[in-house]
Amino acid sequence: MNFSWWEIDSWFSNVHYTVVGSGIVGLHAALRLRERFPEAKILVLERGPLPQGASTKNAGFACFGSLSEIMDDLITHTEEEVVSLIQKRWQGLQILRKRLGDAAIDFRPHGGYELFLDSDTAGYEACLRRMPFVNEVLRPLFRADVFSREVDRFEFKGTKEYLIFNPFEGQIDTGKMMQALLKEAHAAGILILNSQTVTGYTEKPDGVEVALGDFSFTTKKLLFATNAFADQLTNGAVKPARAQVLITEPMPNLDIRGTFHIDRGYYYFRNIGNRILFGGGRNLDFEGETTTEFGTTDIIQNRLEQLLREIILPNTEVAIAHRWSGIMGMGGSKRPIVEQLSNHVYCGVRLGGMGVAIGSLIGQELADLV
């Protein structure tokens, strides 16, 4: 690191709080620290030129779980745990919208839908059967039924007659969201440095020595908001989960508006103007997608294209404009990890694929541990 004395003095001297990760969690943690400690020097370190994990690589779903995903969670979590998770996701969405404003994040309340392939009769019938129970469980939180049955008006092919509709879902533009968050952080006097990889840290009696390659500096407190890249911090409680995505070229007269889920949330699509963004499919290769390497694979991209052309847009000429991937943080439990790791080190990680919804709340909870 060829830092000058000016750079060291301005950025790396007398640092009170250092946040690792400039995604949704990291920036909300930094902003919360600024609210609590108006005079503190707050530094955010990001290893990529942009937030690396999923904050700007996700699909922009303002959602808290499809009906089939919630039912799947009820198998592995208690009812109280599932309701608590949904409450945190819903609360996090409200924090995000209130802080930045709906216009800044391009929030669009089109609602969310779940569709079922003709081959998934068992899943379809189970959802219809259990929908009243899930609505009853969630009614204290939403004061209304969350899920209802609607006839498919989108002319999907090879799917069941009815969709499950959720009026509380919406869309956001995650690029605009992150730009708005960065503006807030800069306006609050928070220092943000990109392309800086933390290679290690050493706890001291009065702080933490943080290593950036062959350069190190001292901070009073160190907060990790690295989600999918937190395996070593949590002794394996967080595993990376790559999510692959594609987006089409614009299509005239596209009559699809909203967020859509298939197969317990493993597939998801939405419109962005007159384009369709379609992602998912990691259940085709769980082992291969448990990686921190960005990239796409033929097995998943081919399946996405097949579903896009045969199910979602069966009578439309489709051209793919772009493909990418993001890395989520998953684990045996979907409960986020917000913990103090030692005297001066903290982490807020494992967002369970719901970073847009829960990230702002987890960032605030992380900062409140200090």
Longest Cα–Cα distance of the chain, Å, equals 67
Which of these three, 169, 198, 214, is where a domain ends?
A: 169
Residues 74 and 143 in one domain: yes
* Amino acid making up residue 317: E
Quick check: is 259 in a domain? yes
Residues 153 and 259 in one domain: no
> Are residues 277 and 269 in contact, defined by beta-carbon separation less than 8 angstroms?
yes
Q: Tens digit of pLDDT for each residue in 211-264?
A: 999 999 999 999 999 998 988 888 889 999 999 999 999 999 999 999 999 999
Residues 154 and 295 in one domain: no
Q: Does the CA dihedral 18-24-27-32 come out positive or negative? A: negative
Q: Could you give the number of structural domains in the chain? A: 3
Backbone angles phi, psi at 93, to 5 degrees: -65, -40
The whole domain housing 42 covers 5-56+175-236+333-368
- The C-alpha atoms of residue 101 and residue 89 are separated, in whole angstroms, by 17
Confidence of residue 104 (pLDDT cuts 50, 70, 90): very high
> Are residues 360 and 95 in contact, defined by beta-carbon separation less than 8 angstroms?
yes
Q: Tens digit of pLDDT for each residue in 277-324?
A: 999 999 999 999 999 999 999 999 999 999 999 999 998 999 999 999
Residues 219 and 111 in one domain: no
Q: Tens digit of pLDDT for each residue in 8-40?
A: 999 999 999 999 999 999 999 999 999 999 999
Residues 325 and 258 in one domain: yes
Residues 160 and 196 in one domain: no
pTM of the complete model:
0.95
Quick check: is 61 in a domain? no
Helix (H) or strand (E) holding 214: none
Locate 110 and state its tokens.
């089109």
Which of these three, 151, 169, 187, is where a domain ends?
A: 169
Percent of all residues in the chain with a pLDDT value above 90, rounded to a whole number: 95
Helix (H) or strand (E) holding 216: strand 215-224
Residues 227 and 344 in one domain: yes
* Amino acid making up residue 152: D
